[in-house]
Chains A and B, each alone.
Chain A
Amino acid sequence: AQSVTQLDSQVPVFEEAPVELRCNYSSSVSVYLFWYVQYPNQGLQLLLKYLSGSTLVESINGFEAEFNKSQTSFHLRKPSVHIRDTAEYFCGRRGGKLIFGQGTELSVKP
């Protein structure tokens, strides 16, 4: 069965430090991958997506993710985080229905 694994449930980091949120997926012929962000008591917002083409995808607020087929990974990175990035982040893969990882809580401290 298809699956998505987020390797860290919580990631505490200081403001302006770099961060990586890790995501691995089960291998498949066609892979469509997404990262969503959820602020407290809100729905999920699409952060970025990989459908095909360039393996490095970027969002408008400085996050990027790299699709690595050999390692079946789609890790999310940001070189310098802000307090406002504090949220829960979900990795997902599409293949019919959308399957999510368990989520990673990013906590940015001043």
Chain B
Amino acid sequence: DGGITQSPKYLFRKEGQNVTLSCEQNLNHDAMYWYRQDPGQGLRLIYYSQIVNDFQKGDIAEGYSVSREKKESFPLTVTSAQKNPTAFYLCASSAGQYNSPLHFGNGTRLTVT
């Protein structure tokens, strides 16, 4: 079945360490997205990529980095510069057309202590 796979489901890190969240899709979608979800704040866009080897900052990109070397993969690195990294992270993809809905993975819950 086609879909988006995020791994791991739960991730624990010590403060000061960088951590990379995986996102893979086999939907042949051009566009991919990373959102951060915090209680009571909805979803906020971190980064998005509309094509391989290109990506743009979203609303809260500071402290995060991404790469898009393959169409299927869009990993997100949470760096030590991110002041409040504990959150639920969601990856999504879309066909790229202006009105296409997004398809979401099941998320990674990151806890930094």
A interface residue numbers (CB < 8 A to B): 9, 30, 32, 34, 36, 41-46, 49, 51, 90, 94-98, 100-103
Known: A44-B90, A90-B42, A90-B43. Is A98-B106 also a contact (CB below 8 A)?
Answer: no
B interface residue numbers (CB < 8 A to A): 4, 6, 33, 40-43, 45, 48, 58, 88, 90, 92, 94, 98-107, 109
A100 x B43 contact (CB < 8 A): yes
A32 x B98 contact (CB < 8 A): yes
Counted as pairs of residues, one from A and one from B, with CB atoms less than 8 Å apart, the total is 58
Inter-chain contacts of B106 with A (CB < 8 A)? 41-43
B43 x A97 contact (CB < 8 A): no
By secondary structure, the A interface counts as strand
The smallest beta-carbon distance between B5 and chain A, in angstroms, is 11
Q: How far is the CA of A85 from the CA of B99 in the complex (A)?
A: 27
Q: How far is the CA of A84 from the CA of B103 in the complex (A)?
A: 22
